[in-house]
Amino acid sequence: MKNIYFLAKKELKIYFYSPIAYSVAFMFLLIAGYFFYSDVLYFSLISLQARSGFMGLDITDWVIRPLLGNMSVVLLLILPLLTMRLFAEERRQGSLELLLTYPLRDIELVLGKFFGCLAVYALMLAFTIPYPIILYLLGRTDISPFFTGYLGIFLMGSAFIALGLFISSLTESQIVAAVITFGLSLLFWIINWATHFTGPPLSKILEAISIITHFEDFMKGIIDTAHIIFYLSFISLCLFLTLRVLESRRIRG
């Protein structure tokens, strides 16, 4: 555990000693803030037109779910920028081979980099915590779907990070890693669209492996252990594949 902690701390320092984390966090917060402002403003206008105020319309359907959905799309676009350098930069500089000679287990190296990137992602989400507080102060309404949605968006982002970590271990190019990570993340996002023109059992399989399908209940305020298991399984699979890549490089010397 000590090695994992120090590796994660090292990754955090690398992120914040470079403009990567600041640039990604700034763009995420800027776009998320715009969506929050526009969703609340639109909800206010609709409420005034209906002469019912905040209590007359469901804030979950008009603000919380659209905001969380939009935030998840933004994360789909920007998280590959956080994960692209994790192993690709080490391979390009030749420092990965040096790391593999240290008295570190491969699992410690993988988890250290994963948790380091995950910490940056968690900090980005933490800066959006004022959104549900503002909604509560304005509307005095149920904002529990916001917090279940945060759990879902954290798990979904963690899955994207694990996928990006795996892709980054396959190439020396950060650009290639970012593009492939985005492409595969998008594929897992939209793969359930094919269920409209496929029949069982294929449609069930496509729906089961769709990342966004498992996120929808969280936005509704529902915590289903099946969805949590899916995300944890997805993360574990990507980390396992990353371990196999490192193991093959160690064998090749």
CA distance 143 to 127: 17
> Range of 169's domain?
2-252
Domain count, the chain: 1
**Based on the number of CB atoms within 10 Å of its own CB, is 199 exposed (0-12), middle (13-18) or buried (19 or more)?**
exposed
**Rounded to two decimals, what is the model's pTM?**
0.91
CA distance 50 to 42: 12
The mean pLDDT of 21-28, rounded to a whole number, is 91
DSSP conformation letters of 130-153: HHHHHHHHHH----HHHHHHHHHH
Running DSSP on this structure, what letter comes out for residue 61? I
134-187: pLDDT as tens digits: 887 876 567 778 889 999 999 999 999 999 999 999 998 999 999 999 999 999
The mean pLDDT of 229-241, rounded to a whole number, is 96
CA distance 85 to 205: 32
The two three-digit tokens of residue 19, written as one number? 């403009």
CA distance 209 to 55: 37
CA distances from 181 to 80, 91, 149, 159, 238 (A): 6, 17, 23, 11, 12
